[in-house]
Amino acid sequence: MSRIHSRLALAVSTAAIAALALSGCSSSDPISGGSETSAAPASDTIVIGSQAYYSNEIIAEIYAQALEGAGFTVERQFNIGQRDAYIPSLEDGTIQLFPEYTGNLLQFFDPDTTATSSDDVYAALKTALPEGLTVLDQSPATDQDSYNVTAAFAKEHNLTSIADLAGIPNLVLGGAPELETRPYGPTGLKSKYGVDVTFSGTADTTVDELVAGNIQIANVYSADPRIKTDDLVTLADPDGLFLASNVVPVVSTSVSDKVADVINKVSAALTPEGLVALNVESTVDQKSSKDIASAWLAANGPS
């Protein structure tokens, strides 16, 4: 009887110890490599976040490795998800640096903004950001929402701009579920261009659905390599449905100037074509963000 008791106790305590041990061993960063300490007298630890978007993760990893190269200790919290989810962490300082996109971020804080050009959007964003947050220099690289059709569909209906879609019947627009409610979604299409669409929440299957013909218009990020590889036509947006959306680092105001210097150099070196090339390395060559980032920094790094 006491033997049973002690055996039970042994098993339970072993399990408990195992649980505790496992809870101790972890890495809060999903990307391997962790935070490498450097020989230089380390300044603050910078926490960098990223969206649940592989391209954004690459940019964040570039920021991380650039800062580590400059002597900082970096903690990565990647793959967080929607803007609505991580902005609070930025505001309260749990995360200090985040790669973002000017236009989408501006619309998040100021849904009624009328700015559309790249410079206007950047200026408006600076004023729209709440206390404690600011943006560093924006990059020439862009990655914005864009409406695309297949080359065949464009040829069939003679399409070059979104306005040309007006009047075509049975149009289905595909994109992330949230697109249905966004100002540049179906309601914006109707009010700005008079285009009637029904919406289908296709999420990450959007491009495949477009190619398969189940939807006619797809919201695809402009830096997505599949626009080229799947022969898609991006429709022009003369009336400014979409805001220009350049890659821009969002930081909490407490970060040091040295951080700003390093990141601004990175931003300046990142071109639109360069960003597409990074995405190709990730999807076609299937390289990890870590490898892509180190290769890019080796080629474009601080001189």
Between 120 and 180, name the residue whose CB sits nearer to another protein: 180
Instruction: For residue 247, give the nearest of 129, 134, 144 by alpha carbon.
Output: 144
Is residue 19 close enough to count as binding another protein by CB under 8 A?
yes
Between 136 and 280, name the residue whose CB sits nearer to another protein: 280
Per CB under 8 A, the list member of 120, 164, 180, 230 interacting with another protein is: 180
Kindly state the number of chain residues that form the binding site for another protein, as judged by CB under 8 A: 61
CB neighbours of residue 56 within 10 Å: 23
Cβ 286 to another protein shortest distance, Å: 5
Per CB under 8 A, the list member of 54, 113, 233, 240 interacting with another protein is: 54
CB neighbours of residue 197 within 10 Å: 20
Is residue 295 close enough to count as binding another protein by CB under 8 A?
no
Give 115-121's long-range contacts (Cβ < 8 A, gap of 24+).
115/243, 116/240, 116/242, 116/243, 116/244, 117/244, 118/142, 118/244, 118/246, 121/243, 121/244, 121/245, 121/246
Per CB under 8 A, the list member of 99, 103, 174, 249 interacting with another protein is: 174
From residue 133, how far is each of 47, 74, 114, 191 by CA, in Å?
14, 19, 22, 33
CB neighbours of residue 70 within 10 Å: 17
Helices and strands in the chain: count of H runs, count of E runs = 12, 10
Phi, psi dihedrals of residue 51, rounded to the nearest 5°: -80, 170
Is residue 28 close enough to count as binding another protein by CB under 8 A?
yes
Site for another protein in 77-136 (CB under 8 A): 78-82, 84-86, 89
Is residue 294 close enough to count as binding another protein by CB under 8 A?
no
Q: Please state, in angstroms and rounded to a whole number, the distance separating the CA atoms of residues 116 and 107.
A: 11
- 227 contacts 15 by C-beta, under 8 angstroms: no
Stretch that binds another protein, among 112-120, 170-178, 249-257, 295-303 (CB under 8 A): 170-178
Between 122 and 221, name the residue whose CB sits nearer to another protein: 221
Site string for another protein, 183-222 (x = CB under 8 A): ---x-----------xxxxxxxxx-xx--x-x--------
Beta bridge partners of 192: none
Instruction: For residue 65, give the nearest of 56, 55, 76 by alpha carbon.
Output: 76
Per CB under 8 A, the list member of 42, 52, 152, 268 interacting with another protein is: 52
Between 195 and 259, name the residue whose CB sits nearer to another protein: 195
Is residue 170 close enough to count as binding another protein by CB under 8 A?
no
Stretch that binds another protein, among 4-12, 38-46, 134-142, 237-245 (CB under 8 A): 4-12
What are the start-end ranges of the E strands in 70-216?
Answer: 73-77, 97-101, 133-135, 145-150, 172-175, 198-201
Q: Which residues bind another protein (CB under 8 A)?
A: 1, 4-5, 7-8, 10-12, 14-16, 18-19, 22-23, 25-33, 52-54, 78-82, 84-86, 89, 174, 176-178, 180-181, 186, 198-206, 208-209, 212, 214, 282-283, 286-288
